[in-house]
Structure 1
């Protein structure tokens, strides 16, 4: 009888310490909004007019949404941080185009909201469309902008897997994941442990490599809210377009909030 009680107590201890530190109440799910480029006109599907982005930020403020840092949501999803506040939302922007500095940055300073940028460093201070390292330092120094990895040069992993032999492909993946982290850390002095999958493409092997490279969370392009029920290495984000204005934007937020 004594041995059975001891085993039962041991089991209770295992369950207790394995449970998330912040309890197991109703899981919260938060929309992660995904942007790419901004401008006076929407030249393509990935561009949101700057005026529309300003309208969206105004909508979030006037309707009681609270923009939180992506890191806070990731900590909650991983069970190492508190629940997110009611009506939370996250803003991210991929690729590192110049309009992030010229258009997005002034508006997030005006509204004082945090944003996470996912950058592929090979283009920075090199491609004419891309941000410069000084611009990234300025944004990061504001305290509003976190900068994370979008691999080194934004490859299509599906295409590269078909093109390369297995050993060469493995080296290619490791380079894309590791070199991006190393360069962002060297140039900006920022801890890099989150990744946006290029084109939203990932698989189990890529996830294993990303974890081995030191990433604790990664993000796709699936329109759904993110919460503890999701795989932290394949968290969904809602692609925002120029058509997401007024009631359309509001309905998108409601669909993706829990």
Structure 2
């Protein structure tokens, strides 16, 4: 028989039956064993009520699959076609408004790492915002984020990603001083070619490149950022999300404690800080797809111009 939650009147009536079945009867009229029968019936009735109340409380608990980490790149106003790494400012603003209206709280990287280590709790609706590559157009997001008091991190290509279409050092300095924003490492040069990248270097697939070159990318970007910003840098986002176990060991050797991938999913306490899952926000998607990305923990692909960046290896 399917179970159901008792109404208040039903609870009261069952309690009265449990406690008053033999009340008002003379001792001689009560059947033999009535005390044992009474105690058993009272135990069964009260147990049923307790189980019903526990079931109702369990139904009221909100689900908390973990924290999504969203990936953005260029936030444009010039009509550039939207895609995996390009989103119009108007659409970005609409997404931030949705997060605000739905009661989402943006976490700093420190809060997020502490949550994964089990050292703190976070609201059920929490999210981490990351802007990769340090594009100059990322500054378009700043007024929107400030308007809603939202935290975000900017991931800098420290050598080849300064000036031109990328942020100037003065911009990076200002962002790092801002109470809502953080600056972290995205390697020195962001090698992104499928045949010529950090993974293929450490795998020995590129003549003249070895694990030493990969280590230089990691240590060089961290040290230059630390020198410029005057603080420690311990977070790294892999270019294109590509990595393997060898690169994880090199990153730890280079001084990083937390490594961000582009593998989809939510992040929960006890998860590996060396394999943080993130979700691409496809700029060609509408709000329905954005909500699905946020709540289902998967990369919803809308763009058709390029190959989606899914998985942690550049190989087919």
Supply the distance in 1 between the matched residues of 2:231 and 2:151 (Cα, whole angstroms).
15
SS of the equivalent of 2:122 reads coil
Q: Taking structure 1 as the reference length, what is the TM-score of the superposition?
A: 0.82
Q: What residue is the counterpart of 2:71 in the other structure?
A: 34
2:117 to 53, 74, 78: 78
Q: 1:113 Cα deviation (Å)?
A: 0.7
Q: 2: distance between equivalents of 1:148 and 1:137? A: 12
1:224 aligns to 2:224 (yes or no)? no
Q: Distance in 2 between matches of 1:227 and 1:251?
A: 19
Alignment-derived partner of residue 119 in structure 1: 156
Q: Is the 8 A contact 1:69 1:114 kept in 2?
A: yes
Distance in 1 (CA, whole Å) between partners of 2:245 and 2:262 is 17
Structure 2 match to 1:93: 131
Is the counterpart of residue 146 in structure 1 residue 182 in structure 2?
yes
Match of 1:90, SS state, is: strand
Instruction: Specify the alignment match of 1:170 in structure 2.
Output: 211
Q: Distance in 2 between matches of 1:112 and 1:27?
A: 23
**CA displacement at 1:202 relative to structure 2:** 0.7
Q: Distance in 1 between matches of 2:113 and 2:166?
A: 27
Runs of at least 4 residues off by over 6 Å: none
* 2:293 corresponding residue in structure 1: 252
Which of 1 and 2 has greater Rg? 2
CA distance in 2, matches of 1:243, 1:226: 25
Q: Is the 8 A contact 2:82 2:284 kept in 1?
A: no
- Report the Cα distance in structure 1 between the residues aligned to 2:154 and 2:269, rounded to whole angstroms: 22
* Equivalent of 2:276 in 221, 235, 241: 235
What residue number does 1:69 align with?
A: 108
Give structure 2 stretches of 5+ with no counterpart: 1-62, 192-196, 299-316
Shift of 1:248: 2.1
Could you tell me how far apart the structure 2 residues matched to 1:68 and 1:42 are? 30
Q: What is the TM-score normalised by the length of structure 2?
A: 0.68
In structure 2, relative to structure 1, the CA distance for the partners of 1:27 and 1:240 (3 Å cut) is: closer
In the alignment, structure 1 segments of 5+ residues that lack a partner are: 1-25
Q: Is the 8 A contact 1:124 1:133 kept in 2?
A: no
* Deviation (angstroms), 1:119: 0.9
Greater RCO (Cα-Cα under 8 Å, separation 6 or more)? 1
Aligned residues: 227
Q: Is the 8 A contact 2:199 2:247 kept in 1?
A: no
